[in-house]
Amino acid sequence: MLDYMPVLAVGFAASVGLAPLTRQLAQRIGLVDKPSARKVHQMPIPLMGGLSIYLAFLLALLMFGNQPAYMNELIAIVLCASFLTFVGFWDDRRELRPRTKYASQLAVALFCVVVGLRVDLFGVWLLDAALTIFWFVGIINAVNFLDNMDGLAAGTSAISAFFLFLLSALQGQTLVSSLSAALCGALIGFLIYNFNPASMFMGDMGSLPIGFLLAVLGLKLRFATQVPAASWMIPILVLGLPIFDTTLVVFTRLREGRSPAQGGKDHSSHRLVAMGLHPRLAVLTLYAACVLLGLSALLISFAPLEAALLIGGGVGAIGLGTFIILEVVRIKQQRKLKASPGIQKG
């Protein structure tokens, strides 16, 4: 496991050094996130933090993460992530239509299916391909949705990447370990500039490729120490927070008769703030939840089947209870807004 520390360290150092440069570039070309009714920040914040994360990630891989045995897979992953970085930049610059973003994600997912980066759960090509596409598009959008408060997407993604690194290193998976260590280091380095109060944002230029990379890492995890009946839960738990938040938001927006693609202050973080938490404390609370989910995944990777199913069921029950509580918070919040004329809905 210590063999991968240089990968993480270079990713971190490169991200710390590159972030101020990309921030200056964003300011020079006018690529900033302006305040609006559905956003928390009150001043324009430079974007392009995603570029510093991705360049740091690549630099770490180039210097320490060379894996000749997996070169074809590595090239495919880098090509897809680079494409999504470009799509994210264009979206930050021109604000693409949701269907255009979804089409790009679908294209990446289909490419991964064709080159063999796909789920192998059912043993039926069509079913595995469909699940792969759903997984990629779902996780990419989940991370994109989670980028709604200072430090939230970067911090939770770093925690998820760390647990993916830990799990893959324990199983001797060199490619996944290298990728996850590089991503974790790059995200931690960026978090220095992105934690509340943030001096720069990653933008879609960061959230789209980060979501893709996390989806790839979760998909490629393999467990000699666990049977498939339990191991399928592990990547879902590691990425449980973005999955939970996206499910909550989509459910709420559909219930309220809105498009799931329509932005708003209805994410888990916003509801914690509505319950009285400071935004920074709300983000730290979600960090803690992400750590607990990662620890649950780690336990399941070694537990007997019965214990693994019990842990998974317990986490699911807690998640359902939290879902209900946060939905009640949203309903009460909306009722207060309706009863208070002149207050804009989030």
Annotated binding residue at 204? yes
Please state the φ and ψ torsions of residue 171, each to the nearest 5 degrees.
Answer: -95, 0
Q: 148 labelled as ligand-binding?
A: no
Predicted model pTM? 0.93
Q: Nearest to residue 237, comparing CAs of 297, 184, 292?
A: 297
- Asked if pLDDT for residue 329 goes beyond 50, the answer is yes
Residue with tokens 């949701």: 98
DSSP sequence for 212-260? HHHHHHHHH---TTS-HHHHTHHHHHHTHHHHHHHHHHHHHHHHTT--T
Do the Cβ atoms of 45 and 33 come closer than 8 Å? yes
- In three state form, how does the secondary structure of 295-344 look? HHHHHHHHCCHHHHHHHHHHHHHHHHHHHHHHHHHHHHHHHHHHCCCCCC
Q: What are the pLDDT digits (tens) for 161-218?
A: 999 999 999 999 999 999 999 999 999 999 999 999 999 999 999 999 999 999 999 9
Q: 29-66 pLDDT, tens per residue?
A: 989 987 765 555 567 899 999 999 999 999 998 876 55
